[in-house]
Structure 1
Amino acid sequence: MAAPLRLGVLVDSEAKLTLLKTAVSQVGQRIDYCALVPGPDASETMSVLSLDELEQVSDLDAWLVDITHAEDDTRLSPGAAILSALLSAPSPVLLSDSSELGSGPAERMAWVARLKSRLQRLIGEVNLQSQKAANSVWVLAASTGGPSAVSDFLRALAPDLGVGFLYVQHINEGYSPALMNMISKAGHYPAGTAKQGSVIGANTVTIVDPVKRVEIQENSTLVLHDEPWGGCYQPSIDQLVANLARTHRQRSGLIVFSGMGNDGSASCRFIRQQRGQVWVQDPDSCVLDSMPAATLQTGCVDRIGTPADLAQSLEIFLRQSNFDEEPQAHESSATH
């Protein structure tokens, strides 16, 4: 389990501090420093932060700030100066607004839920400071026969292509560690399991666990939700691929390997609409060809091949791609 974030909290009342402490604790993070910004409700029981002290606590991972400013109140000018200094510092700053907090229990619960969601996304922002995100993200989708096919694909793939893979394999709970060990031994792309705030790093494989639903952010970080995947597939290829198409557009890709069922066939249309790539394993080389065959029937497939063929094709495609420019239009039919 990843170490919790070391957060600094900056507020102008102790009531706000109590609320923020509750939310931070519920998402598994910790507060290493908290201080009160001078204001009309200042209390002597909390330390009052100064600009000089701000420099001494600059090694925190991020700041959580909830300060109410009144432009006509000159007593809040120290708080404004401190906030300005924080926003120009390298550590991420999450601005909370407790003025949105209603008086009833339902409103309070909704506010805390929104804050917890923002804190979960903050983990990814912090992780991005130390890990480079992938230039493009491709989903490796599989079910029965998938681990062997995906291993063959990664074994044949050239190193350092800058791509990040999300491996969505239909498996039972508890099998992710064994799958990670198997995939890490195949080729040059180390595997890890999806965690809260994980960065989809360049030249890595992130295995999506079947228990918690995973959401992809536009900055290539992951948010894990407590609720399970919807539908009959765990994890759901269609849900994750639809999410990826929305966040990464032409920087997204899907490769459907051996498997039973039709998971992935619905969402491949979203990838195609956003000018991403949809590839499938040649059904003749699959242990079970239901998933590739269902995807082929959509008419959205750009390329078909054995796992080794697809690896060679991906190397060529990525080396020729310039994601800073508009992508070329898709060909009208699949190529072998």
Structure 2
Amino acid sequence: MRVGIVSTNEVQKALITELLGPLVGPLKEYDLTTIRNGTLHSTDAHILIIDMSDPAIVDCADVMDMMGRDEPICLMHEKDLFAMSQADRISWRNRTVEEIRKSLPDLTSELDSKRDEADNKHVPDAWIIGSSAGGPQALREFFGALPPLPITIFVAQHISENAFGQMLARLADNAKEWDVQTAADGAKVRPNTVFLVPRDKTVDIRGGIIELKPHVTPELSFNPSIDAVIRSIFACHPGKIGVIIFSGMGFDGSAGIRAVKGRAKMIMAQDQESCGAKGMPDSARLTGAVQISAEPAALAAELKNLYPQ
């Protein structure tokens, strides 16, 4: 597949190449010089992406003439990619790929395969930590013993809405060598990052970017739902996932780990002796999916051993 970019904006061309290059191969670039010397008119490109955000291109009669021809197929691009978030750039890429697929249907399977490969490349494993009563103490001990690792951790801690900010601050204080954030739309899944999941939400990951989805639990249920977070991330994350169930009452997390049993990288739970509330870890163990039980600091050591540096 041969794709070209028509623009005088070097930043725009670099971003389009970065987004589309892994899918379509090297892109040919056309600026005013190549337009005026006739190189554009003799192009062998199948697809030309015309940068309509570039006034110099819009005012060029030769480019407008190209757009009136049957070949190559011209796709008009009107957005300034530099001003977009990474999530919006990925959305633009996906829309452009769909246009290319419609124009060149014989290459659909090749494009899909390369897009999956590009999205999955260098995606870190995702670990979900579920905790409730006694969880803050377990998290403090766990992160106090956990060095930086090439993984992303999602913490689903049952918590009231008013206490969320305090919990985030406490988590950041405990995990000093990690980048601690609230899980939010558009956040990029990166190694050595911890995301605290908000109430009434679960997490999708598309192209390495977080998309929060509403998940309202029954009024008396624990929130956020650990089961929902495990299932959601497992369904959409291209990398491996792992689960750790810390102290808590009830059985949230058990259905989620049962769903990923045999397909997760590892499933661990806090041991009875160190738990403030044994319900959740004990319920997790009853599924038969838990592979390691230990105190939080020992679980941190087990996780470290899975990712030797």
TM-score (norm 2): 0.62
Change (3 A) 1:146 1:202: same
Matched residue, 1:163: 151
Structure 2 residue corresponding to 1:175, chosen from 146, 163, 168: 163
Q: Find out whether 1:136 has 2:125 as its counterpart.
A: yes
> Is the Cα–Cα contact under 8 Å of residues 250 and 275 in structure 1 kept in the other structure?
no
Q: Find out whether 1:230 has 2:223 as its counterpart.
A: no
Change (3 A) 1:299 1:162: same
Matched residue, 1:221: 209
Structure 1 residue corresponding to 2:180, chosen from 181, 184, 191: 191
Question: More displaced, 162-171 or 273-282?
Answer: 273-282
Change (3 A) 1:146 1:240: same
Change (3 A) 1:53 1:246: closer
Question: Aligned residues, how many?
Answer: 221
Report the secondary structure of 2:191's partner residue: coil
Structure 1 residue corresponding to 2:136, chosen from 147, 153, 158: 147
Report the secondary structure of 1:148's partner residue: helix
> Is the Cα–Cα contact under 8 Å of residues 245 and 270 in structure 1 kept in the other structure?
no
The alpha-carbon deviation at position 265 of structure 1 amounts to: 0.6
Matched residue, 1:34: none
Q: Find out whether 1:207 has 2:196 as its counterpart.
A: yes
The alpha-carbon deviation at position 134 of structure 1 amounts to: 5.2
Q: Find out whether 1:305 has 2:294 as its counterpart.
A: yes
Which ranges of structure 1 fall in alignment gaps of 5 or more residues?
A: 1-49, 59-73, 98-127, 321-336
Matched residue, 2:283: 294
Matched residue, 1:25: none
Distance in 2 (CA, whole Å) between partners of 1:295 and 1:56 is: 61
Matched residue, 2:255: 266
Q: Aligned-residue CA RMSD in angstroms? A: 3.6
Change (3 A) 1:243 1:53: closer
Partner amino acid, structure 1, of 2:128: V
| Residue deviations 1:243-294 (CA, integer Å, cap 9, x gap) | 1222337610110000011000111022223243110011110101100000
Change (3 A) 1:174 1:149: same
Matched residue, 1:95: 95
Distance in 2 (CA, whole Å) between partners of 1:52 and 1:134 is: 30
Matched residue, 1:3: none
Matched residue, 2:10: none
The alpha-carbon deviation at position 149 of structure 1 amounts to: 0.5
> Is the Cα–Cα contact under 8 Å of residues 133 and 200 in structure 1 kept in the other structure?
no
Change (3 A) 1:317 1:95: closer
The alpha-carbon deviation at position 76 of structure 1 amounts to: 7.5
The structure whose RCO (Cα within 8 Å, separation 6+) is larger is: 2
Partner amino acid, structure 1, of 2:282: A
> Is the Cα–Cα contact under 8 Å of residues 200 and 206 in structure 1 kept in the other structure?
no
Structure 1 residue corresponding to 2:236, chosen from 247, 251, 270: 247
Structure with more helix by fraction:
2
Distance in 2 (CA, whole Å) between partners of 1:313 and 1:82 is: 51
Distance in 1 (CA, whole Å) between partners of 2:256 and 2:277 is: 20
Change (3 A) 1:220 1:229: farther
Distance in 1 (CA, whole Å) between partners of 2:95 and 2:239 is: 32
> Is the Cα–Cα contact under 8 Å of residues 124 and 189 in structure 2 kept in the other structure?
no
Percent identity of equivalent pairs = 26
The alpha-carbon deviation at position 191 of structure 1 amounts to: 1.4
